[in-house]
């Protein structure tokens, strides 16, 4: 037996993941940790990403991930750029490449851009020398699996591929706990003997640590649509509470009181009811737009309009925030120094994809304000996001230094550190009148007001020192 064969046989299964992003990287780290009997390899077309995965500085920040990767990398978890070899060696291939919203052609701004997925399917087909199970980890439009099957089977070799849908429900910042203790794992396949056999092989992976009653198997179309529906429902809750926040600001009601009161109704529940400057992240908007596109495709305009309104309210919330700043600061922001507390789309991640902070920064720059951006993890991404903008921007990690001489602070991300700062000291260092716009409602507004700030929360009465309020 040659050495390569012996190494291959050391493990019960060879699992490959194509795409080493947030989803692929975190999921494979947890699978490898929970299943030492499997060899897990992550490949990516981006060699920098792979170098980072093999270094001390992982390409993504996710609490708990470093520890796992460092403890098993080189044992049963490997990162490589050799996609072809990875495909040949693996029995099960997870695909976790990005599927952003299309920016061109038919369905631009709505439909999913499937070019990477399709290229990946062709790559698998061309390199495979034996039967494979292909597991789609992404959020894809319903019936994508069918298209994948067609590409994979469009050759005259007799290699058999089973396409399985196993959408990911992890949220960034809590990815490791979401993966180790999931509410449910969803695995869909064709309901043919071969499809069901392949599905069971994927179930077997998760059974290593997930209780069986939390592993749901289903047909592939329901599985794909469940993922879109889950994200649409979650985003809908945020848009619903954000819509109420606008009404609260007009009527002096308090949106937190409302969220608390309705959340205690078990039928509603208390999660995802935090009013905010708007939701961001790589999935919510993309998935809802996908759903809208799908509904329009099937002539269901009313249904499409219903879901599209979730995105409209989200845009409205961001616009309201800017308008409020402009209006409050005497209708001009020209040369005013505005310090953004946070740039990530949520706390505990360095990810800024679709972060409301991007849109708000651009609008503030259009008003000719000067921006000082601070964030404990996301400054590098912020620089990339605002790379093509004109205007004055500084990036400063220390929030005290960042806010010095500023006219206003706008909280964009609910980082815990912002609740623990010495606001007396910050107030002393700022221009007066000093304003705080709390886009996440995380600060002690009464205390800030007593210090001297003019405070503008989301969905709560403003606390202003101006007589003409
Ligand atoms: C991605 C998708 O965006 C999401 O819709 C899906 O639910 C799961 O996978 P994420 O892991 O957050 O989510 O994306 P990203 O961090 O962009 O990672 C994708 C990786 O795939 C990148 O590292 C990219 O280099 C890689 N890739 C992309 C390939 O390896 N091959 C390709 O052809 C395209
Ligand atoms: C989401 C889904 O939660 C996850 O299941 C799916 O797989 C991918 O998309 P993620 O985008 O990582 O995960 O973050 P999530 O915690 O859902 O937050 C999304 C956005 O909503 C963030 O900008 C967050 O700040 C915002 N949000 C969340 C609110 O504004 N209010 C809330 O009450 C909750």
Is the CB of residue 25 below 6 angstroms from any atom belonging to ligand 1?
no
Which ligand is nearest to the Cα of residue 135, counting in written order? 1
The alpha carbon of 281 and the centre of ligand 2 are apart by a number of angstroms equal to 7
Strand partners, 187: 217
Task: Look at the chain and count its residues.
Answer: 469
- Percent of the chain residues topping a pLDDT of 90: 87
Whether 24 contacts 170, CB under 8 Å: no
Mean pLDDT of 270-290: 96
The alpha carbon of 377 and the centre of ligand 2 are apart by a number of angstroms equal to 17
How far, in Å, CA of 133 to CA of 400, rounded?
53
Read off the DSSP letter of residue 405: T
Whether 290 contacts 225, CB under 8 Å: no
- The pLDDT of residue 191: 94
The alpha carbon of 415 and the centre of ligand 1 are apart by a number of angstroms equal to 26
Q: How far is CA 49 from CA 26, 81, 271, 312, 368, in A?
A: 14, 9, 34, 34, 36
One-letter-per-residue 3-state SS of 243-310: HHHHHHHHHCCCHHHHHHHHHCCCCCCCCCCCCCCCCCCCCHHHHHHHHHHHHHHCCCHHHHHHHHHH
Q: Using the predicted structure, report yes or no on whether residue 265 has a pLDDT greater than 50.
A: yes
Is the CB of residue 168 below 6 angstroms from any atom belonging to ligand 1?
yes
Residue of 138, 181, 238 to mutate, ligand 2, most atoms within 8 A of C-beta: 238
Cα 398 from chain centre: 25
Confidence grade of residue 405 (pLDDT, cut at 50, 70, 90): very high
pLDDT in tens, 105-157: 888 887 778 888 889 999 999 999 999 999 998 766 667 777 888 888 877 77
Lowest mean pLDDT among 58-62, 400-404, 409-413, 414-418: 58-62
Query: Could you identify the residue written with the tokens 């499409």?
Result: 304
Mean pLDDT of 232-260: 97
Structure tokens at 313: 């309210």
SS3 388: coil
pLDDT in tens, 372-401: 999 999 999 999 999 999 899 999 999 999
- The pLDDT of residue 2: 47
Confidence grade of residue 451 (pLDDT, cut at 50, 70, 90): very high
- The pLDDT of residue 10: 86
How far, in Å, CA of 104 to CA of 183, rounded?
37
- The pLDDT of residue 452: 98
- Triad 369, 370, 375: Cα angle to 5°: 120
Count of CB atoms situated within 10 Å of the CB of 343? 29
**Known catalytic residue at 295:** no
The alpha carbon of 241 and the centre of ligand 2 are apart by a number of angstroms equal to 14
With a Cβ cut-off of 6 Å, ligand 2 is lined by 168-172, 231, 234, 238, 272-274, 276, 279-281, 283-284, 345-346
Whether 166 contacts 137, CB under 8 Å: yes
Confidence grade of residue 469 (pLDDT, cut at 50, 70, 90): very low
Mean pLDDT of 220-231: 92
The DSSP secondary structure of 28-60, one letter per residue, reads: HHHHHHH-TTEEEEEE-S-HHHHHHHTSSS-SS
Residue nearest to atom 20 of ligand 2 (CA): 279
pLDDT in tens, 288-298: 999 999 999 99
The alpha carbon of 238 and the centre of ligand 2 are apart by a number of angstroms equal to 9
Residue nearest to atom 15 of ligand 1 (CA): 21
Is the CB of residue 59 below 6 angstroms from any atom belonging to ligand 1?
no
**Order of strands across the sheet that contains 435-438:** 393-395, 370-374, 337-341, 408-411, 435-438, 454-457
Whether 262 contacts 240, CB under 8 Å: no
Mean pLDDT of 420-431: 98
Check 17, 283, 339, 406 and give the catalytic one: 283
């Amino acid at each position: 037996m040659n050495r390569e064969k012996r190494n291959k046989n050391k493990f019960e299964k060879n699992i490959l993941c194509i795409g080493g992003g947030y989803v692929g990287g975190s999921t494979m780290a947890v699978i490898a940790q929970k299943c030492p009997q499997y060899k897990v390899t992550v490949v990516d077309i981006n060699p920098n990403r792979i170098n980072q995965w093999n270094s001390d500085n992982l390409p993504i920040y996710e609490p708990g991930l470093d520890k796992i990767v460092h403890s098993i990398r080189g044992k049963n978890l490997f990162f490589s750029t050799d996609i072809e070899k990875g495909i040949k060696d693996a029995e099960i291939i997870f695909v976790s490449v990005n599927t952003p919203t299309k920016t061109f052609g038919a369905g631009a701004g709505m439909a999913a851009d499937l070019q990477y997925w399709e290229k990946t399917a062709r790559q698998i087909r061309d390199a495979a020398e034996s039967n494979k199970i292909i597991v789609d980890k992404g959020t894809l439009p319903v019936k994508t699996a069918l298209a994948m099957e067609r590409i994979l089977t469009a050759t005259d070799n007799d290699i058999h591929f089973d396409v399985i849908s196993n959408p990911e429900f992890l949220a960034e910042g809590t990815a490791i706990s979401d993966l180790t203790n999931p509410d449910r794992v969803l695995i869909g396949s064709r309901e043919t003997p071969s499809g069901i056999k392949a599905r069971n092989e994927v179930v077997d992976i998760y059974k290593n640590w997930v209780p069986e009653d939390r592993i749901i198997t289903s047909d592939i179309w329901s599985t794909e649509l469940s993922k879109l529906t889950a994200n649409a429902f979650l985003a809908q809750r945020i848009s619903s509470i954000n819509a109420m926040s606008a009404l609260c600001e007009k009527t002096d009601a308090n949106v937190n009181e409302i969220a608390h009161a309705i959340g205690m109704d078990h039928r509603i529940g208390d999660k995802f009811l935090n009013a905010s400057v708007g939701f961001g992240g790589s999935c919510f908007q993309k998935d809802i737009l996908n759903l809208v596109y799908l509904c329009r495709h099937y002539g269901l305009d009313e249904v499409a309009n219903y879901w599209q309104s979730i995105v409209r309210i989200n845009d409205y919330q961001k616009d309201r925030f800017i308008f409020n700043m402009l209006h409050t600061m005497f209708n001009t922001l020209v040369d005013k120094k505005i310090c953004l507390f946070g740039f990530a789309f949520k706390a505990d991640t360095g990810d800024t994809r679709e972060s409301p902070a991007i849109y708000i920064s651009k609008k503030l720059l259009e008003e000719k304000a000067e921006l000082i951006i601070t964030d404990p993890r996301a400054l590098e991404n912020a620089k990339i996001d605002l790379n093509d903008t004109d205007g004055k921007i500084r990036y400063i990690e220390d929030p005290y230094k960042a806010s010095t001489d500023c006219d206003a602070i706008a909280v964009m991300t609910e980082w815990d550190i912002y609740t623990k700062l010495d606001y007396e000291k910050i107030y002393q260092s700022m221009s007066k009148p000093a304003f705080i716009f709390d886009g996440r409602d995380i600060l002690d507004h009464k205390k800030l007001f007593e210090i001297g700030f003019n405070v503008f929360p989301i969905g709560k009465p403003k606390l202003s020192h101006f007589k003409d309020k």
